[in-house]
Structure 1
Amino acid sequence: MKTPRDLVSWVRGHPLVPGGRRARTAGMVLLALLAVGSGTAVTVDRIQALPAGAVFRVGDTTLTEQQLGDRVTLLKAMYFVRQPADPAGLDTFRRDSAKAVAVSQVLENVAKSRNIVIADKTANDELTAGLEKQFPQGRDAFMAKMAAVGVTERAIVDEIKRQLANNQLFDQVTKDVPAPTDQELAQAYEQHRAEMAVPEKRHLRNMVFRTEEQAKQARGQLDGGTDFAALAKQVSLDDTTRDKGGELGTVPREPLEPAYANAAFTAAPNSVFGPVRTPQGWNVGQVLEVTPAVPLALDQIKPQLQAWLFRERKVDAFNRWLAEQIRAAHVRYSDAYRPADPDAAPPGAPVGAPK
């Protein structure tokens, strides 16, 4: 089970009227994490029979280092996975990537054994739906961006087919899981009553810089009385907010980068904060207004709470089933790619679990 914080974050992010299946799968396809096998255990049979350049063997499939590299390139491009630069972090990343792709292969083999087949058209429709929501520049621009980093359209469609097959596996495995009772919902609510609230929101402005020194200079100007919106229009690198004076709108903490959220949600109203480093650059922000959190009664949050508990129950059932499949597959890794904890599960829900 997840922590109370995870529960509350999930409940807050889901509207009372749930989205349809297309919204769920399309969103999952473009936002899935690299840990394809999250919540599973992998039994490893270390042998010397793998050929040179091999990463692992699952059944009749042997994955080479080149193939793993291509898959990781695809996942980094589609899901914004970041590769560590330090040697120790890079070694862990390489081993975890091998484990993730191995579990993905196990799932693919099980899907085939159950005659789960995803048509190219279905995958293309899901890709188009996801891009309409998350990449307004359009499909051609997205494909050009992928091609620039060595990812083909065929590879993208195949990845989406794997994810959609996992959706069907999840639905098949968990179809008989019982829904939580009213008593269980009431108990969960009482356990986390203090956290059940519409989250605090803050009206923010922001500007982005290439270097910390540039951000510090802007902060100095703001501290000296320069108008934030006027300065943002002149110097911010963020072309999506620059012309609006750095306007981010009124937002909760959860969607923000952690470091930025910590700074923004500890700053006083009508104050400036930063510089704060995020993947986009060095940021200087301003808090214009604070909307306090509002407690929610059980009746107000019951549909989301029920959905969350039902999801967790299904994820637990699926993970137990998947662990059995992986043990039966006898995944074999080469020493250079053997995970440090092959029998431990990384945190999170498996691909195929409803978001």
Structure 2
Amino acid sequence: MSLIILLLLLTACGDEAAATPQITPSGGGLLPFPTPSSNPRIGYATGAVAKVNGTEISANEFNQALDQTRVTSEEQNGGTIDWNTETNKTRLKELRDQVLQGLINYAVIESEARKENVTVSAQDVTNQLENFKQQIGGEDTYKIWLSRRFMSDTDNRRALEQGLLFSKMLEQHATVQDKEEQVKVRHILLGTEKEAKDIFVRLQQGADFAALATQFSLDVASAKKGGDLDWVFKGQTEPSFEQAAFSLKIGTFSGPIKTSLGWHIIKVEGREVRQLPLDLLEQRRQEAFSAYIKTLRDHATVEVLLNT
């Protein structure tokens, strides 16, 4: 995990795959991304930028992290960015604040890791580095990648060590349940309350739910399947829809339910504890770790020295 991903992930959370740099061939060569000679360092700090529990975050740490963030932004942009325009001055200011907050967050995590004796071995860093080099195309490409970020191999090893430590702390402090109760639902989406009430009456009179969904539902995708939305977990739908769906007994349907999409009639056809989707689990892990970081910060003494 590169330091740029680490920093952004410290205010949210990310994954290691996202850290792979995008170096795009153009006519047999590399795109004209920044180099030390073509794009001088911008937005730098001097002196300590913050203190966390009495320990300083140096200008050197901040400047290296800013280089990674800024240059990665330029790579994603497809080339160099003129940071002197009014729009990009604002953007640079935002990047500087993101970097600062990320470094502060990492500092509180690192401090807690020391208390818990969580460490990263030199061999772990070497293994991560070799995998990283393979991902981006080998040693020569790695040297280009370093030069674009004004980094040395030592700098990057330190960034990888930080990323690995971060990952270990995340594993220990962001555990979430991978299964929970879900309901299997169908629905009919209507544009008005009157239409929904009319459909509700027809259902009470014995009309087939799937047939009415196919004929009348404004949700075209589910209408083709008789209104089938498959299994729904908590947090997936709007609160009013969720409350109705999880309160219904199997085989029963609701009266008209209002959401931002319109008016729904909901039918529950199953209820069981099921495995959650991987993307939802990752999201919840991110949320749990973000909450953990906030707790650490709330109990830390943080002094911001950088004028962002």
Task: Give the TM-score of the pair, scaled to structure 1.
Answer: 0.45
Q: 1:249 matched to which residue of 2?
A: none
5+ unaligned residues in a row in structure 1: which ranges? Answer: 1-27, 41-51, 193-301, 338-355
2:296 counterpart residue number: 325
Matches within 5 A, 1:343-354: none
In structure 2, what is the equivalent of residue 310 of structure 1?
281
Residue 314 of structure 1 deviates from its aligned partner by 2.3
* Aligned mates of 1:328, 1:78 — CA distance in 2: 32
Tell me the equivalent position of 1:57.
51
Greater CA radius of gyration, 1 or 2?
A: 2
Matched ranges for 1:132-211 at <5 A: 132-133=134-135, 135-136=136-137, 138-147=138-147, 149-175=149-175, 177-181=176-180, 183=182, 186-188=231-233
Structure 1 residue 35 corresponds to structure 2 residue 35: no
Counterpart of 2:182, as a letter, is Q
Given that residues 65 and 99 in structure 2 are in contact (C-alpha distance below 8 angstroms), is that contact kept between their aligned partners in structure 1?
no
The letter for the 2-side match of 1:139 is E
| Cα-to-partner distance string for 1:140-178 (whole Å, 9 max, x where unaligned) | 431244146520101101111111111111111134x32
In the TM superposition, what is the alpha-carbon distance from 1:189 to its structure 2 partner?
10
CA distance in 2, matches of 1:320, 1:84: 36
How far did residue 81 of structure 1 move? 7.3
Q: Within 2, Cα distance between the matches of 1:169 and 1:120?
A: 17
Q: Is contact 1:30–1:78 with CA below 8 Å preserved after alignment?
A: no
The 1-side partners of 2:279 and 2:293 are apart by: 21
1:219-257 deviation per Cα after TM superposition (whole angstroms, max 9, x unaligned):
xxxxxxxxxxxxxxxxxxxxxxxxxxxxxxxxxxxxxxx
Contact 2:11–2:101 (8 Å) recurs in 1: no
Q: 1:125 deviation in Å?
A: 0.8
Aligned equivalents of 2:50, 2:9: Cα separation in 1: 16
CA distance in 2, matches of 1:32, 1:149: 14
Q: Is the 8 A contact 2:7 2:99 kept in 1?
A: yes
Q: Contact between 1:120 and 1:157, CA under 8 Å: does it hold in 2?
A: no
- Percentage identity across aligned positions? 16
How big is the shift at 1:103?
1.2
Matched, 1:116 2:118: yes
Where do residues 1-355 of structure 1 align in structure 2 (5 Å cutoff)?
A: 28-29=1-2, 32=5, 34-39=7-12, 53-76=47-70, 85=83, 86-133=88-135, 135-136=136-137, 138-147=138-147, 149-175=149-175, 177-181=176-180, 183=182, 186-188=231-233, 306-334=277-305, 336-337=307-308
Matches of 1:57 and 1:184, distance apart in 2: 49
Q: Distance in 2 between matches of 1:149 and 1:168?
A: 26
Evaluate the alpha carbon distance shift between residue 31 and residue 88 of structure 1 in structure 2; reply closer, same or farther with a 3 A threshold.
closer
Please report the TM-score for the alignment, with normalisation by the length of structure 2: 0.51
Partner letter of residue 10 of structure 2? G
Contact kept in structure 1, 2:52 and 2:302, CA below 8 Å: yes
| Structure 1 residues 191-245: Cα deviation after superposition (integer angstroms, max 9, x where no partner) | 68xxxxxxxxxxxxxxxxxxxxxxxxxxxxxxxxxxxxxxxxxxxxxxxxxxxxx
Q: Distance in 2 between matches of 1:190 and 1:88?
A: 35
CA distance in 1 between counterparts of 2:121 and 2:170 reads 18
Give deviations 1:47-89, integer Å, cap 9, x for gaps.
Answer: xxxxx83311111321233431123224555785777723322
CA distance in 2, matches of 1:115, 1:36: 22
Supply the AA of the counterpart residue of 1:306.
Answer: P
Gaps of 5+ in 2: 14-45, 185-230, 238-273
- Tell me how many residue pairs correspond in the alignment: 187
Q: Are the aligned partners of 1:35 and 1:100 in contact in 2 as well (CA < 8 Å)?
A: yes
User: Counterpart of 2:129 in 1: which secondary structure?
Assistant: helix
CA contact 2:52–2:104 (8 Å) conserved in 1: yes
Task: Check conservation: 1:39, 1:319, Cα contact below 8 A.
Answer: yes
CA RMSD of aligned residues (A): 3.4
In structure 2, how many angstroms separate the alpha carbons of the residues matched to 1:190 and 1:332?
A: 37
Letter in 1 for 2:232: Q
182-191 or 147-156, which moves further after superposition?
182-191
Shift of 1:180: 2.5
Change (3 A) 1:165 1:33: closer
151 and 306 in structure 1: CA distance in 2 versus 1, 3 angstrom threshold = same
AA in 2 matched with 1:314:
R
Structure-2 change in CA distance of 1:311 and 1:141 (3 Å):
closer
